Amino acid sequence: MKSVKLLRSVALVALLSFAAPSAFAANGESFVKEKQTELVALVKKAKGPADDKKVEAAFDEVLDYDTLAKGSLRDYWAERTPEERAEFQGILTKLVRAAYRKSLKRIVGYEVEYKGATRQDSGELVRTVAKKKGDAREEPLSIDYVVSDASGKNKIVDIVTEGSSLVVNYRNQFRRIIKKQGFPELIKRMKTKLEKGDVN
C-alpha cells in the first residue's frame, strides 16, 4: 500500500501487449522511456539550485500542466476567473513537480518494464510494470502513462497506478473541498501542503 501511494504521487512521477499501430506505440513508449531515464539521472545527481532548475525544466518538458489543471478541476474550471486559474495551476504545478521528484528518488530500486501502448480518447496509454529489485516477494506494480500530443508535442496528461488515476484522485479531493468550504479553502490547503512538503 505504501509503495502504491508513493508511485501514484508521480508522480510524477514517474509509472501487456496491445493491438496498436506499431509506429504510434513506439512513439509514446519511447517518449516515456527516454524522459523517465533522463529525469532519474538528473534527480540522482542534483546537488544545488542550478541542478534543481534543470530538473524543473525537464519536468516541464514531460508534464502538461494545463491539461492536468483543467482535468483535476474540471466542472469548476469554467467558474474560475483567469487570475484564479493561474494561481491554481501555479500551485498545482509545484505540487506535481515535488511529488514526481520525491517518487523518482524512491524508485531507484525498481526495475521498470515497458509493455507497449494503445490509443484511447484522452491520448496514448503507455503501460509499464515496476518490480522491486532483489525482492521477488513484493508484487509488481502496474503504472500507466497517458501521453497526448494535443499541445503540439508529446506530454504526460495523467498517470494511472494500479488502476487509480492521478487526475481523478485530484478531482475527487478538490471537488469535496470546494463543495464543502469553497475554492479559497482549496487554494489555502494546496499552499499548506506545498509549504510543509506534504506532496504524497
Note the pLDDT tens digit of each residue in 132-149: 887 778 888 888 999 998
pLDDT < 70 stretches in the chain = 1-26, 107-108, 200
Complete domains list, the chain, with CATH? 2-194 (3.10.450.710)
Stated pTM of the model: 0.80
At 82, which amino acid appears? P
